[in-house]
Chains A and B, each alone.
Chain A
C-alpha cells in the first residue's frame, strides 16, 4: 500500500550481498517485519525488529532501522539462488489503530548464478 514503499525489483549475483530497502509513513508502528514469499508457498516470516532498535542481525540477515528517516532495510549476505523470492516490508499498526499488518508491494529478488 501507499503507506509502505519498496522498489519492485532487485537483481544480484550469487555470493554478493543484497540490500532491499523500504520507506514508510506511519511513525507509530512499533513492530516492523520482513516476510518472504516463494511461488506456491505461504508467506514466511524472516525477521522482525522493534521500533526502539536500530539493528538486528540473524545469521545472514541484517535489518537496519532508521526511525528518523522512516527507512527499513534488509541485507542478505552471501546471497544464494534459493534466496530468489519476493520480499515484503511489513509494519504493524499501533495497538490503538487496530494492530493490523500493513504490507508493502514487495521487492522481487532475482539471484543469478
Chain B
C-alpha cells in the first residue's frame, strides 16, 4: 500500500479481555516497529522485526504483550488480560531496511487507539 495501515483505528475493551492490533506495512519494507504513545508522552519503543523475526523485543513491558509477523509483512500486536494502564495509541512504523543509518526513514501509521475500561 501507499502508507502504513493500522486497524482498528479505535478499540474499546474491558479490563481482562484479549486484544489484537494489526499493522500492514508499506509493501517491500523489511523492517517493522511497534511503539506505544501514552497521553501527553512521546512514543516508546516496544518491538522491532527484521523480516519474520523479532530482532529486538526489549521494549515489551511484560509477558502479556506479544507480537508476530509470520510472513514478513503484516504484523499483529497481541495483548492478553488487558489492564487500564494499557490504554494508549499503538503506533506501527516500517522502513525499507533495518539498516543503521539516518537515511533509514521510518514511516509511521496513524495508530490504533486502545481504551481499556
Q: Does B109 contact A (CB under 8 A)?
A: yes
Q: Does A102 contact B (CB under 8 A)?
A: yes
- Please report whether the interface of chain B is mostly helix, strand, loop or mixed according to DSSP: loop
Pair A31/B102 contact, Cβ less than 8 Å: yes
On chain B, the number of residues with a Cβ less than 8 Å from chain A's Cβ atoms is: 26
Contacts A42-B111, A43-B91 given; indicate if A104 touches B106 (C-beta within 8 A): no
Instruction: Name which residue of chain A comes closest to B99, CB basis.
Output: A99
Pair A4/B108 contact, Cβ less than 8 Å: no
A33 to B43, CA, bound (A): 14
Which residues of chain A come closer than 8 Å to B105, judged between CB atoms? Answer: 45
Chain A, 36-49, contact with B by CB distance < 8 Å: what is the 0/1 string?
A: 00001111110011
Pair B43/A45 contact, Cβ less than 8 Å: no
| Cβ contact of A105, chosen from B4, B41, B102, B110, cutoff 8 A | B41
Q: Which residues of A contact B (CB under 8 A)?
A: 1, 4, 30-31, 33, 40-45, 48-50, 88, 90, 92, 95, 98-106
